[in-house]
Amino acid sequence: MTQSQSAYFLSDAQPPTRRHTVAVIVDNEPGVLARIAGMFSGRGYNIESLTVSETEHEKHVSRITIVTTGTEKVIEQIKTQLDRLVPVHRVVDLTVQGEALERELCLVKVRGKGDTRVEALRLAGAFGAHTLDATLNSFVFELTGTTEEVERFIRLMGAVGLVEVSRTGIAAMSRGAEGMLEAALPDGAQGR
Amino acid sequence: MSREMTGAEMVVQTLIDQGVTTLFGYPGGAVLPIYDALFQQDSVKHVLVRHEQGAVHAAEGYARSSGKVGVVLVTSGPGATNAVTGLTDALMDSIPLVCFTGQVPTHLIGSDAFQEADTVGITRHCTKHNYLVKSIEDLPRILHEAFYVAQNGRPGPVVIDIPKDIQFKSGKYEKPRDNQHKTYRPQIKGDLSKIKAAVEMIAQAKRPVFYTGGGVINAGPHAAQLLRELVRATGYPITSTLMGLGAYPAHDQQWLGMLGMHGTYEANLAMHGCDLMVNIGARFDDRITGRIDAFSPGSKKIHIDIDPSSINKNVKVDIGIVGDCAHVLEDMVRLWKDVAGQVDKPAIKAWWLQIEGWRARKSLAYKNSSDVIKPQYALERLEALTKDRKRFITTEVGQHQMWAAQYLHFDEPNRWMTSGGLGTMGYGLPAAVGVQLAHPKDLVVCVAGEASVLMNMQEMSTAAQYRLPIKIFILNNEYMGMVRQWQELLHGGRYSESYSAALPDFVKLAEAYHAKGIRCDDPAKLDAAIMEMIDYPGPVIFDCLVAKEENCFPMIPSGKAHNEMILPDFEGDTGEIIDAKGKQLV
């Protein structure tokens, strides 16, 4: 293995990385998404999935769900770096909290005739996908599920005339009665 | 109570309500309404700089020496982009600034209009926070919020980008209210159980060291006072980063000098050999830690910082306390009384004996000369001849900066202004302008190199306009000295582009700027020349011709640990010190 050439990190060891889902509540002000995405790119962190939408219109509050991969140290940095951004209300690591619910939605267009067409419809039925659009030689299916389910579905559709895929990225929420803003505060953070 | 006024008037009224008396700026098309509002009042003094970078550095100098927020006003496009280096500098060194930038009118944004730049986009990464004001109703809130954000938590620069049409529009202005910010509420008080655990750990240490930084300065003079109380009560050694100089008096016996790449032998070996490191308001920067996997291998570490993201970022610590240094120190001083009896006095005595051994190595010694002025000697004389005055020092960046940190001694906080994190050449001269405006009656000296000082030389004109008696003390070795030193150590002495060719005649240059020029190249005449500089009632450029190829030691070479320092009496081939691996590092 080659020696690291950075003054900041001299160890050859590659500590294990883990996938985390982080939910961030932000003030929906202009540029807030650029601020968050820029923090990730500027500090060299990964974004695997990012979902954002206003959740409380009157309060101008948005919820951002980020899926990222990193070492334990990097994940801690991501959370504290997010938390110190001025428009951020709250950062919660859903992966640390326990088995969070994670879903994404995909739209899949397939094209085909005869047996492939029948097979596509049969597979969609088996996955519980909805048929949103149908023509004599095509379908558009909608499937909501875990990332794994969605990917399995898309892989199978590849064999029956896949044309196009659109995915939303992950929306996530913790299980149980507790809301995100009520959850125990992370170490060092203050209620907002 | 609210009053009806224009956006431009709101900007000026906000300055008055926030207690701002001085701002630094440069006019242009997109800020003309604000300049018009400034023209019609006497409460706020505008200082006209000669380049927007100078405005930001001057505001930094003003802020760091006074503890107030520095304020900058520049126009759109080039005005804003010229300010970017200064903003980045303030972000890296956590200096509270509010920078107003003009913007093209709202309806022209995005059309590539004349002097349009995406200021909030460009400055998003070099500010703590920034705002583009899109309606007059938002302006009063944003104006006051910006001052809150700049000063609270870890301080930093905030940009408010105001389109020209918003400056003309009328709206209701309200005075700042003492209400809590919606989202930004940094933790000020430290977690008491952690502070208790930390204090106990401190009491039980056998080889402890305090390692303090700019956070103590930023927490205010009260924090420096509490630091002194705590350190004296423990009797433990203390060292500080470049940013933290002055928080603890340099003349005290417990003071080990600065640590890090050009720190003293005793400070770095104490860091390496300690069993407990107490980091107060510093951030384990790479200039401090050196090789991180060999950094203080046998110690437990306590870290106090107002920014939670600083904790465990570079170095994993055993106790991380989030809070303002002054508040945490106050708790520590109080709790110390309960545990003071647990201190292992013989162990601390043995530790001090070891440190005194390192100190006796005299790592700042140098070979003086009677023919040529050694830069170290010049600074020792500057120190001797100015130490009894209320004195403020700014620096540019390079060898002279490190020598100034080594040979000038600071007993008070806010007296030392230097570009630490970003290492901005061109910082010192404009910073001196800002410092002198905050302290009109005191001695302000910018220790400079002949290369750095030329980067913002135009600000001499500002000094002349406002009759600021700043003293620019140039250690002129005709090289970008630190670049040359690294080329000697790393690149076989091939001095690629590091010679300062075609230098101006600094004495004539001083005269051209209505200032006094002094040149000295004789060690025997140096004292008299320095006194002439100090006694002159106006701005001075002092061209001190020093030994050309002096190296700045001690030094931890890149890729090495604290216990592998090069000391000044090193005799051998300097080109062989750093191995192939180290040469790859910055």
**Over the stretch A56-69, which tens digit does the pLDDT of each residue have?**
888 889 999 999 99
**Taking CA atoms, what residue in A is nearest to B158?**
A86
Half-sphere exposure of B273 (CA within 13 A, CB side): 17
pLDDT in tens, A148-177: 999 999 999 999 999 999 999 999 999 988
A-chain residues near B133 (CB < 8 A): none
Q: Evaluate whether B175 touches B140 at the Cβ level (below 8 Å).
A: no
Q: For residues B540-549, b (16+ Cβ closer than 10 Å) or e, as one string?
A: bbbbbbbbee
Q: Evaluate whether A139 touches A121 at the Cβ level (below 8 Å).
A: yes
Q: Evaluate whether B349 touches B236 at the Cβ level (below 8 Å).
A: no
The confidence score (pLDDT) of residue A3 equals 40
Q: Evaluate whether A89 touches A192 at the Cβ level (below 8 Å).
A: yes
B109 touches chain A (CB under 8 A): no
pLDDT in tens, B194-215: 999 999 999 999 999 999 999 9
Whether B164 is catalytic is yes
Determine what percent of chain B falls in helix, strand and coil, rounding each to the nearest 5.
45, 20, 40
Whether B565 is catalytic is no
Q: Residue A5: is its pLDDT beyond 60?
A: no
Joined together, the tokens standing for residue A29 give: 């002000």
Whether B10 is catalytic is no
Give A 132-161 residues with CB within 8 A of chain B.
none
Contact B586 A3 (CB under 8 A): no
B-chain residues near A73 (CB < 8 A): 312, 316
Q: Evaluate whether A73 touches A145 at the Cβ level (below 8 Å).
A: no
How many residues belong to chain B?
586
Of B146, B173, B149, the residue nearest B73 (C-alpha): B146
Contact B313 A77 (CB under 8 A): yes
B43 touches chain A (CB under 8 A): no
Q: How confident is the model at residue A4 (pLDDT cuts 50, 70, 90)?
A: very low
A-chain residues near B311 (CB < 8 A): 80, 188
Rounded distance, CA B462 to CA B107, Å? 36
A81 touches chain B (CB under 8 A): yes
Can you say whether the dihedral through the CA atoms of B479, B482, B488, B494 is positive or negative?
negative
Rounded distance, CA B41 to CA B13, Å? 10
Q: Evaluate whether A188 touches B187 at the Cβ level (below 8 Å).
A: yes
Helix (H) / strand (E) containing B88: helix B78-92
Q: Evaluate whether A170 touches A159 at the Cβ level (below 8 Å).
A: no
Q: Evaluate whether B13 touches B19 at the Cβ level (below 8 Å).
A: no
Residues 6+ apart with CB under 8 A from B320: A188, B194, B302, B303, B305, B308, B311, B312
Whether B332 is catalytic is no
Rounded distance, CA B203 to CA B339, Å? 6
Contact B291 A10 (CB under 8 A): yes
Of B530, B554, B524, B423, the residue nearest B475 (C-alpha): B530
Give B 536-565 residues with CB within 8 A of chain A.
558-559
The confidence score (pLDDT) of residue B586 equals 64
pLDDT in tens, B375-385: 999 999 999 99
Catalytic residue among B114, B508, B531, B584: B114
Contact A86 B291 (CB under 8 A): no
Of B518, B537, B517, B417, the residue nearest B467 (C-alpha): B537
Rounded distance, CA B549 to CA B104, Å? 50
Nearest to A84 among B292, B308, B320 (CB): B308
B186 touches chain A (CB under 8 A): yes
Nearest to B584 among A5, A35, A189 (CB): A5
Q: How confident is the model at residue A10 (pLDDT cuts 50, 70, 90)?
A: low
The confidence score (pLDDT) of residue B336 equals 98
ipTM score: 0.89
Q: Residue A20: is its pLDDT beyond 60?
A: yes
> Mind giving me the DSSP string for A14-80?
---EEEEEEEEEEE--TTHHHHHHHHHHHTT---SEEEEEEEETTTTEEEEEEEEEEEHHHHHHHHH
A88 touches chain B (CB under 8 A): yes
> Mind giving me the DSSP string for B180-204?
PPSS-----SPPHHHHHHHHHHHHH
How far is the alpha carbon of A191 from chain B, nearest alpha carbon, in Å? 8
pTM of this structure: 0.94
Nearest to B187 among A8, A27, A190 (CB): A190
Distance of CA A10 to the CA centre of its chain: 32
Whether B402 is catalytic is no
Residues 6+ apart with CB under 8 A from B19: B68
Rounded distance, CA A106 to CA A4, Å? 40
Q: Residue A191: is its pLDDT beyond 60?
A: no
How far is the alpha carbon of A35 from chain B, nearest alpha carbon, in Å? 7
Contact B184 A80 (CB under 8 A): no
Mean pLDDT throughout A114-141? 96
Residue B499: beta bridge partners? B479
Name the residue type at position B465.
Q
Residue B302: beta bridge partners? B278, B319
Q: Residue A7: is its pLDDT beyond 70?
A: no
B129 touches chain A (CB under 8 A): yes
Which residues in chain B come in under a pLDDT of 50?
A: none
Q: Residue A110: is its pLDDT beyond 70?
A: yes
